[in-house]
């Protein structure tokens, strides 16, 4: 009986394995050595320090292991790994909290770069009647003039006259025409207005008729004569004016604009005394407006930045200087009942 011939596999010609088609389709099966090489190439490098992890390029996900010491009692415990994701906009940790990254120009240190951060100015808080739509001239008047204590007699007469005009015009309208009023009334100099004759007064009425009513024009001119009499009696109008509050401004301390009154007992008291001396168009409301703008009453709201400025000690020391309290005969007008009684200058 003949034996079947023994089949031998042909000898391998090279070191490469032959590719075999399997049941999974026309996919190539690699040898175990090639699989190991692929696994070793896909392994992620491990870093033991956070500095090394931070030096990687953005959008790389790497496990960062805490470098903790292994204790003999707990040798099996391993440290927890934290995933750190580096992005262009910041560093995002596994907790989901994104920490913004600082963008520093090349060659500039971090401390120097922080000085380049823009400073956003905080808008000033003003009184409620100053709005974003208010005229710049009116805002400047509020910020620089209204409520500042005044001692100059010529300035006081101008503010008294403007307070009288306030009965017909608003502050913004008055301020826009202030240069016209100063030209018309000789810069509100009482010594010049007191010498205005009837012809000059007629000319003022004709030129200022479109601006003011005739009674207001005549009042500004006639009051200048009585203003000079007070200067002669008290040494200055400022001395007479500030005696109503004992030479010290009154801080009203209002929080809301609706709390500001139209008149006060002190304005009524001064109005009554001015009328006795011959002044016209000086009602309690006009006098209170005069007291506000001249600084006797600090009616800036307490939320306004000007409230503390008008209460500044330096301003008060400069503007609250007491003048000589004697009349032309060297007597104190408060003690001399023939000039001004104590009832008229009561501080209550």
Could you tell me which residues are annotated as the binding site for Zn(2+)? Answer: 127, 142, 300, 304
Q: Phi-psi region for residue 79, left (φ > 0), alpha (ψ -120 to 50) or beta? A: beta
Q: Which residues pair with 99 in a beta bridge?
A: 91
Residues annotated as binding site? Answer: 127, 142, 300, 304
Spacing of C-alpha 201 from chain mean position = 47
- The CA–CA distances, whole Å, from 222 to 97, 193, 200, 256 equal 77, 8, 13, 37
Q: Residue written as tokens 């203003």?
A: 227
- The CA-atom distances, in angstroms, between 310 and each of 257, 296, 301 are 18, 10, 11
Distance between the two ends of the chain, CA-based, in angstroms?
A: 150
Tokens representing residue 239 in the block: 């001395």
The SS3 call for residue 9 is coil
Taken in order 280, 281, 285, 291, the sign of the CA dihedral is negative
- Report DSSP letters for 72-141, one per residue: STTTT--PPEEEEEE-SSEEEETTS-EEEPP---TT--HHHHHTTSPPPPPPPP--TT--TTS-HHHHHH
CA 341, CA 348: separation in Å to the nearest integer? 14
**Rounded Cα gap, residues 18 and 78, in angstroms:** 44
Answer yes or no: are the C-beta atoms of 217 and 204 closer than 8 Å: yes
Rounded Cα gap, residues 263 and 250, in angstroms: 14
Rounded Cα distance, 38 and 170, in Å: 88
């Amino acid at each position: 009986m003949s034996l079947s011939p023994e089949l031998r596999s042909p000898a391998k010609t090279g070191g490469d394995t032959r590719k075999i088609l399997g049941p999974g389709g026309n996919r190539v099966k690699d040898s175990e050595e090639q699989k190991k090489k692929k696994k070793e190439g896909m392994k992620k490098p491990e870093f033991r320090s956070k500095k090394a992890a931070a030096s990687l390029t953005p959008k790389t996900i790497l496990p960062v292991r805490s470098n903790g010491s292994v204790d003999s009692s707990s040798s099996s415990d391993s440290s927890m790994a934290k995933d750190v994701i580096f992005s262009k906009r910041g560093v995002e940790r596994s907790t989901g909290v994104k920490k913004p990254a600082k963008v520093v120009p090349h060659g500039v240190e971090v401390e120097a770069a922080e000085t380049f951060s823009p400073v956003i100015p905080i808008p000033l808080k003003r009184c409620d009647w100053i709005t974003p739509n208010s005229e710049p001239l009116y805002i400047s008047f509020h910020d620089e003039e209204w409520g500042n204590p005044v001692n100059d007699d010529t300035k006081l007469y101008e503010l008294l006259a403007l307070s009288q005009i306030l009965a017909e015009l608003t502050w913004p309208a008055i301020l826009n025409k202030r240069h016209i009023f100063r030209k018309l009334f000789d810069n509100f100099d009482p010594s010049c207005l007191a010498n205005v004759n009837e012809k000059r007064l007629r000319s003022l009425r004709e030129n200022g008729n479109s601006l003011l009513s005739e009674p207001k024009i005549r009042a500004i001119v006639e009051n200048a004569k009585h203003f000079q009499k007070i200067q002669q009696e008290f040494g200055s109008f400022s001395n007479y004016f500030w005696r109503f509050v004992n030479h010290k401004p009154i801080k009203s301390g209002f929080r809301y604009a609706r709390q500001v009154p139209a008149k006060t007992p002190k304005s009524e008291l001064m109005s009554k005394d001015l009328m006795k001396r011959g002044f016209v168009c000086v009602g309690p409301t006009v006098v209170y407006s005069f007291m506000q703008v001249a600084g006797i009453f600090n009616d800036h709201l307490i939320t306004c930045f000007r409230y503390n400025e008008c209460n500044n000690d330096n301003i008060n020391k400069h503007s609250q200087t007491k003048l000589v309290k004697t009349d032309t005969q060297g007597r104190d007008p408060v003690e001399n009942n023939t000039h001004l009684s104590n009832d008229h200058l009561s501080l209550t």
